[in-house]
Amino acid sequence: MKPLPNSVQNLTDPDPAPRTMPLPHSPPAWPVFRSFGPLAVRFPPVATFDDVLRSRRSIRSMRPAPLRTVANLLAYATCVTAELVGDPLGRTRRPTPSAGALHPVEIVLVHGGGPRLFRCEPGSGVLQLLAPADRRALGALSARVRSIVPEADGSLLVFLADASKTAAAYEHSLSLVWRDAGALLQTVHLSAAAFGLAFCPLGILGSEVASALFPDATMRAVGMAVVGRPVSR
């Protein structure tokens, strides 16, 4: 019998475990060029949860949605609803679940032909225009997306994780980061369905955006999606 690859054989990674005392942690410094807002969040049309859950699907044909529409989606799905006052790791409650309420994963919106990079700051709802250190790789990323979903003419969502934040609270923490990324992707996907937007998760990570914004590797890319308006609308 042919042996399994090492990556498949290794099924005994240690479980994450809370640290007795959290490690010191400094939030990443986002390269903000300009800020707008805070956004006045609009809510989706009234629908039952069953309607949203059963209508959610990957839609690969789309046209661009306005920046305001996509920014509103991100604010609705990611912004803070409560915070633990005085907590050194900044634990918060948001629409998506997160290990230890840490929420180490944030979303960068890559919008327009430029393209321009934005972040919806979760605590304030302010839309931040970001200043990447190097834009050269962003064109290559757009080409990769077109090769995967050629009819998806929408905005890119790149999920970036501050893995050190989870590591400050947990030993063997990396699996929690990936779990959080998946939970956030599902929350945004369901929210897009509620707003009637087209949404398609991608099987690439978006490391080009992480490198452009954080050349020191402070943040790591953990997933991507594309969002826009269905072509029928």
The per-residue pLDDT for range 137-193, each reduced to its tens digit, is 788 898 999 999 999 999 999 999 999 999 999 999 999 999 999 999 999 999 999
Number of domains in the chain: 1
Whether residue 7 has pLDDT greater than 70: no
Answer whether residue 35 is part of any domain: no
State the pLDDT at residue 37. Answer: 85
Answer whether residue 139 is part of any domain: yes
Whether residue 233 has pLDDT greater than 90: no
State the pLDDT at residue 8. Answer: 53
**What's the CATH number where 205 sits?**
3.40.109.10
* CA distance linking residue 29 with residue 219, whole number of Å: 10
Whole-Å CA distances, 125 to 38, 81, 96 = 5, 11, 16
Whether residue 115 has pLDDT greater than 90: no
* Mean of per-residue pLDDT scores for the chain: 92
The whole-number average pLDDT for the span 9-19 is 81
Answer whether residue 92 is part of any domain: yes
Answer whether residue 171 is part of any domain: yes
Q: What share of the chain in percent tops pLDDT 70?
A: 95
Query: Residue 134: which pLDDT band, with cuts at 50, 70 and 90?
Result: confident
The whole-number average pLDDT for the span 83-88 is 91
- Of residues 71, 77, 82, the one with CA closest to residue 40: 71
Answer whether residue 27 is part of any domain: no
Answer whether residue 40 is part of any domain: no
State which residues form the domain around 119.
Answer: 45-230
Let me know: does 134 contact 211? Beta carbons within 8 Å: yes
State the pLDDT at residue 13. Answer: 78
Q: Judge if pTM exceeds 0.85.
A: yes
- Specify the range with the lowest mean pLDDT, choosing from 27-31, 36-40, 97-101: 36-40
* CA distance linking residue 68 with residue 41, whole number of Å: 10
Answer whether residue 165 is part of any domain: yes
State the pLDDT at residue 113. Answer: 75
Peptide bond between residue 132 and the one before it cis (omega within 30 degrees of 0): no
Angle at CA of residue 69, ends 65 and 102, nearest 5°:
120
Angle at CA of residue 50, ends 48 and 52, nearest 5°:
75
Answer whether residue 17 is part of any domain: no
